[in-house]
Chain A
Amino acid sequence: MSTVKEKNMIDEILRMSGSDPKRCMKCGKCSATCPAFAEMEYHPHQFASMIDQGKIQPLLTSEAIYKCLSCFACMERCPRDVKPAKLIEAVRLCVIREQSRNHMTPDDIPCLLDEDLPQQAIVSVFRKYSK
């Protein structure tokens, strides 16, 4: 059973993503094509089914939400236009929009730098991992 807070969060996720996980026919193409599949505790097709079933809590605490590479392979190849990448992004936003929940902060950056690392990588992780 999901709590009221979880139900609100699911509504929020559906609104933010514009995705309808009920459209998923469980073909598994999104997960098959996902370049981060092996690193994800929950895979793209599971985000669709777990959100649909109201099982949001395990997703909110999973490292899987930080493994999506935003390559949009799942979105491109989904035959039902479920947009798994948008669902994963919406779950991550539910977490990092909470106070003090940034996954990466400026203090984390200096030890990750090397002389060739492009600015693009740094601005991208801030967009993805912090608010």
Chain B
Amino acid sequence: MIYSYYPGCTLKTKAKDLDMYARKSAEALGVTLEEIPEWQCCGGVYPQAKDEIATKLSSVRTLASAKSAGQDLVTVCSACHHVVKRVNDDMKNDEYIRTRVNNYLGLEEPYAGETNVIHYLELLRDVIGFDQLKKKVKNPFKGKKIAAYYGCLLLRPSGVMAMDNPENPTIMEDFIRAIGATPVVYPFRNECCGGYITMEDKNLAIKKSNQVLASAEGKGADLVITACPLCMYNLSKNGTKHSLPIYYFTELLAEALGVK
């Protein structure tokens, strides 16, 4: 199984662990991730205005590159996944955006949303299967109570992201079960950690991150997992009142598979 892979800017810098353990685990699971050549940063947030064209180009270049390789595109970072998937939806369904982007890029063959974008968690669930993953686990996290932090970007808007039920998701809890641990379901698992507001209004990010961690701690979690480098930063740096350890889900996966 060969996939195009889009790591994104932060996975090459502050979130190297998220990337490295994703690659090691994929290898152990028989999946080849081929990094898109000369990919560009997605911009971190989806440009919502209909007339924002230039800010969508980097995502389209990535999508078109996967298309020409004839491969599905795998993402790991929640923000990259969100941006690339929503731009893909625009290219598929918004004629105004599609026309202007294609006019600018002048690709050999115009891009119209053909690439299938899947998050690494969806790869585990839909391609490998959590039951198969469970069979490959060498070091199960027996007795560990793990809280999945979805945040915002993987789930919403659900019409486009289509990963899971946006209010009652199960994909990360099923992942936690597959690696032999016990999932902790808590009210704030799909509420915002503050995101980029940490640069504009740090106190707001501190308030939001503490709310998430209080909620997870209140339900007895030993640790929290995330797929997002900015959630990782907020929960670990701005979650000032709590000391719950935060891990990337890929690190736990690699440890469970014995490739850490």
The yes or no verdict on A and B being binding partners is yes
Residue B44 interfacial (CB < 8 Å): yes
- Contact: A69 with B49, CB < 8 Å? no
Asked whether A123 is an interface residue with its Cβ less than 8 Å from the other chain, the reply is yes
| A72: contacting residue among B13, B47, B157, CB under 8 A | B157
- Point out the residue from B13, B48, B49, B152 that lies within 8 Å of A118, measured CB to CB: B13
Distance A66 CA – B197 CA, assembled complex (angstroms): 9
Whether A114 pairs with B44 at a CB distance below 8 angstroms is no
Q: How many whole Å from A16's CB to the nearest CB in chain B?
A: 4
Residue of A nearest to B152 (CB): A71
Task: Return B79 CB to nearest CB of chain A, in Å.
Answer: 6
Given the complex of chains A and B, what is the CA–CA distance between A41 and B18 in angstroms? Answer: 37
Interface residues as binary, A33-62 with B (CB distance below 8 Å gives 1, 0 otherwise)? 001100100000000000000000000000
- Among B41, B49, B196, B201, the residue within 8 A (CB) of A89 is B49
Query: Does the CB pair A118–B14 fall under 8 Å?
Result: yes
Do most interface residues of chain B lie in helix, strand or loop, or is the interface mixed? loop
Assess whether A67 is interfacial by the CB under 8 Å rule.
Answer: yes
Contacts A16-B50, A85-B48, A124-B230; A67 near B197 (Cβ below 8 A): yes
B192: chain A residues at CB < 8 Å are: 35, 69, 71, 73
What's the Cα separation between A85 and B48 when bound, in Å? Answer: 9
Asked whether A36 and B197 contact (CB < 8 A) given A71-B156, A73-B191, the answer is: yes
Which residue of chain B has its CB nearest to the CB of A115? B14
The answer to whether A123 touches B199 (Cβ under 8 A) is no
Q: Is the pair B237, A116 in contact by a Cβ cutoff of 8 Å? A: yes
B17 CB to closest chain A CB, in angstroms? 12
State the interface size on chain B (CB cutoff 8 A). Answer: 44
Determine whether A104 belongs to the interface, using a CB cutoff of 8 Å to chain B: yes
Contact indicator A123/B230 (Cβ below 8 Å): no
Whether B15 sits at the interface, judged by CB under 8 Å, is yes
B194, A69: Cβ atoms closer than 8 Å: yes
The distance from the CB of B85 to the nearest CB of chain A, in whole angstroms, is: 13
Q: Is B180 an interface residue (CB 8 A)?
A: no
Mask: chain B, 180-210; 1 = CB below 8 Å from A; 0 = not: 0000000000011011111111001000100
Q: Which of A77-111 contact B (CB under 8 A)?
A: 85-86, 89-90, 93, 104
Would you call A6 an interface residue if the criterion is a C-beta within 8 Å of the partner chain's C-beta atoms? Answer: no
* Residues on A with beta carbons closer than 8 Å to the beta carbon of B44: 120-121, 123-124, 127
Q: Which residues of B contact A89 (CB under 8 A)?
A: 48-49
By beta carbon, the residue of chain A nearest B236 is A116
